[in-house]
Amino acid sequence: MRKQQIEAQLKELPRQPGVYLMKDETGMIIYVGKAKSLRNRVRSYFRKNNQTYKTQMLVKYIADFDYIMTDTEVEAYILEANLIKKHQPKFNIRLKDDKSYPYIKITKNVDFPRVFKTRIVKNDGAEYFGPFADVDAIYKTLDVIKDIFQLRSCKKELKANDPEDRPCLNYHIDKCLGPCIGAVSKEDYHQLIDQVCLFLSGKQSQLKKQVEVQMKEAAAQRNFEKAARFRDALKAFTKLSESQKVMTDKNIDQDVVALVQGTENQACAQLLLIRSGRLLGQEYFILEGTEAELESETMASFLQQYYEQAAGIPDELLLNTKLEEQDLLGQRLAEIKNKKVSIQYPQKGDKKKMLEMAERNAQQNLKKENIRSKYEKQRTSGAVEKLGEILGIEKAPYQIEGFDISNIQGTDSVASMVVFKDGRPSKQDYRRFKIKTVTGPDDFASMKEVVERRYARLLREDKKLPDLILIDGGKGQLNAAYEILEFLGIGNLPIIGLAKREEEIFRPNTSEPITLPHHTPTLQLLQRVRDEAHRFAVSYHRKLRSRRLTHSMLDEIPGVGETRRTALLQHFGSLAKIREAKIWQLKEVKGISGKTARKIYDYLREHMRAY
């Protein structure tokens, strides 16, 4: 039936360019590819001649496919990169943990921009630099920027025409120029931000010339304090330049990319960032789902995924692996940069030496990654296997669900449930519960309620049960949860309690606990589940308590009823933001008059300490 359906679909394929999505029998997307002709490319998968091992394995899993037509091959190229990033298909070459790479963000579209780390890139008018594989590199860069430019680090919404009464400590210790009190103009601040952008782009020679001019102008105007700040910045730039390796005397931007294939379908793409002839830094990216005989495809896939999200495109791209689709990549890079990008494969000279340097670093980073993977396996899947043996259960507990209760003297009682799969947190499966049937601080009764709600629902919806349940607590909490499992008819479901004091593992109907050495990965896994459940429960409890206190405080303000309270919270998001707001900002909220805004402003400042 499946074969007949696919054959019928193949006959209807168009000859246009586009992207195709291969799916397994559950409907999950397992491969995304692009094609100049969808008809020719997709049909080639189902011919048995000249298929690689990877393609043979892929075809075995294909139960259905879908496709999206595009007008051009370049559009298909862009769409393919976006769909791989979104779905992370198992048969595609993937940047490991691609979605988590951080950037430096500059909010250039406000009066006094902020410079900070982010992992979310939006089309919001801000400027982004990255991605960076090394988070430490970002923090070091931000520290240098703060020291040189003395930019604000607060998250306040500052307006040029609305200065505050007094600055924070950073202003007094010369760590901030004080835009909040109007100590620096909007225009001067944006001038500094432009310099930060040059700094992050590697245009330090251009930046030094700008700063020298500004220093002389400040000195000529007898603004010696400002001139001294520029002088200190020049010293910092000089020191930084001395620490950067000079790679070439050419004043161009280059990215050097070396691909090294490792074992177990992993490869490392090493990137050297050369700006105006100086080596500014290096990043490396681990790629999964690769094969040694397909290095060209691996390199193409990396460049596609990296440059579709990178904040800057170089003038030259130096590669150690030839591309089959070089023209398509060159066309796309030129489209992003609005200028032609040279793609080269150096065989001798300085450029070849740069590639060799990148290759050496890639080989070393692969070794480092293999060591990390080995220890990560010990603390995750290895610990899961060992836990199954220790508990004497038939199946290793691939999916563990952990529970905890949180309250303060019985108020705002909540429960959390966290899920670990193969030893790693699966945050999309976490659940939070408000305790509904228990009054007062009764953790046993609260545990009964939440366990019944969770597993009665899974049984009702005929969904998969976990392989192991972990209760945060000793015999009392464990017995309360086990009683409910028996009531539901699933008393055979493995369940344990982990007591904090001695880290003892309790099992139902067994008086003697299991004790494990503290350094064992198995106990550390259980501790991670328990601690994560505790953290998640406490954070939810604090949120509810804060919401209750917020509502009660706002209700006490004369003239603020339920409608205005809701409008304020929807507009600002929290009581803290409302307290920080100026009168003119409060007046922007629907239903808040100037008189009411003044009442809210005065009341919150009067009661801030009490709160």
Residue 453 has pLDDT above 50, yes or no: yes
Q: Give 407-460 as a DSSP string.
A: EETTEEEEEEEEEEETTEE-GGG-EEEE--S--SS-HHHHHHHHHHHHHHHHHH
Least confident of 5-19, 418-432, 513-527, 566-580: 566-580
Residue 103: the pLDDT is 80
Three-class SS of residue 402?
Answer: strand
Average pLDDT, the chain: 83
Residue 311: the pLDDT is 66
Helix 295-307 × helix 326-337 angle, to 10°: 10
Question: Domain for residue 209, yes or no?
Answer: no
| Local confidence band at 236 (pLDDT 50, 70, 90 cut-offs) | low
The Cα–Cα gap between 396 and 536 comes to 25
Least confident of 130-144, 278-292, 359-373, 450-464: 130-144
Residue 483: the pLDDT is 94
Comparison of pLDDT for 128 and 525, the residue scoring more = 525
pTM assigned to the model: 0.56
Question: Are 34 and 84 within one domain?
Answer: yes
Residue 147 has pLDDT above 80, yes or no: no
Cβ atoms of 133 and 284 within 8 Å: the answer is yes
Least confident of 115-119, 268-272, 276-280, 484-488: 276-280
Cα atoms in the Cβ-side hemisphere of radius 13 Å centred on 238: 9
Question: Domain for residue 468, yes or no?
Answer: yes
Cβ atoms of 412 and 446 within 8 Å: the answer is no
Comparison of pLDDT for 89 and 229, the residue scoring more = 89
Question: Domain for residue 519, yes or no?
Answer: yes
Question: Are 399 and 537 within one domain?
Answer: yes
| Local confidence band at 388 (pLDDT 50, 70, 90 cut-offs) | very high
Q: For residue 561, what are the domain limits?
A: 556-606
Question: Are 400 and 533 within one domain?
Answer: yes
Residue 194 has pLDDT above 90, yes or no: no
Question: Domain for residue 418, yes or no?
Answer: yes
Question: Are 469 and 333 within one domain?
Answer: no
Using CB atoms within 10 Å of the CB of residue 522, give its burial: 0 to 12 exposed, 13 to 18 middle, 19+ buried. buried
Residue 596: the pLDDT is 85
Question: Are 435 and 526 within one domain?
Answer: yes
| Local confidence band at 226 (pLDDT 50, 70, 90 cut-offs) | confident
**AA letter at 303:** L
Residues 519-541 have pLDDT tens digits of 899 999 999 999 999 888 888 76
Question: Domain for residue 239, yes or no?
Answer: no
Residue 398: the pLDDT is 93
The Cα–Cα gap between 601 and 254 comes to 54
Q: Is the dihedral of CA 261, 263, 266, 269 positive or negative?
A: negative
Question: Are 353 and 406 within one domain?
Answer: no
Cβ atoms of 390 and 494 within 8 Å: the answer is no
Residue 410 has pLDDT above 60, yes or no: no
Question: Are 304 and 189 within one domain?
Answer: no
Using CB atoms within 10 Å of the CB of residue 246, give its burial: 0 to 12 exposed, 13 to 18 middle, 19+ buried. exposed
Question: Are 527 and 572 within one domain?
Answer: no
* Residues with Cβ within 8 Å of residue 324, at least 6 apart in sequence: 296, 297, 300
Residue 217: the pLDDT is 83
* Residues with Cβ within 8 Å of residue 125, at least 6 apart in sequence: 108, 109
| Local confidence band at 552 (pLDDT 50, 70, 90 cut-offs) | low
Question: Are 460 and 342 within one domain?
Answer: no
% of the chain exceeding 90 in pLDDT = 23
CA distances from 24 to 63, 64, 419 (A): 5, 6, 25
Residues 88-118 have pLDDT tens digits of 888 888 776 544 567 888 898 889 999 898 8
Q: Give 553-599 as a DSSP string.
A: HHHTSTT--HHHHHHHHHHHSSHHHHHH--HHHHHTSTT--HHHHHH
Cα atoms in the Cβ-side hemisphere of radius 13 Å centred on 259: 27
CATH number at residue 57: 3.40.1440.10
Residue 72 has pLDDT above 70, yes or no: yes
Alpha helices by DSSP H, 180-266: 186-201, 204-220, 224-243
Residues 30-54 have pLDDT tens digits of 999 998 899 999 988 887 766 777 7
Boundary-marking domain end, from 334, 350, 377: 377
* Structure tokens, 119: 């992992």
Residue 243 has pLDDT above 50, yes or no: no
Residues 564-592 have pLDDT tens digits of 878 887 888 777 778 778 888 888 888 88
DSSP 94: E
Residue 180 has pLDDT above 80, yes or no: yes
**AA letter at 400:** I
* Structure tokens, 147: 């020291």
Residue 550: the pLDDT is 56
Question: Are 143 and 278 within one domain?
Answer: no
Boundary-marking domain end, from 32, 58, 92: 92
Residue 260 has pLDDT above 80, yes or no: yes
Count of structural domains within the chain: 5
In angstroms, how far apart are the furthest CA atoms of the chain?
86
Residue 576: the pLDDT is 74
CATH number at residue 258: 3.30.420
CATH number at residue 452: 3.30.420.340
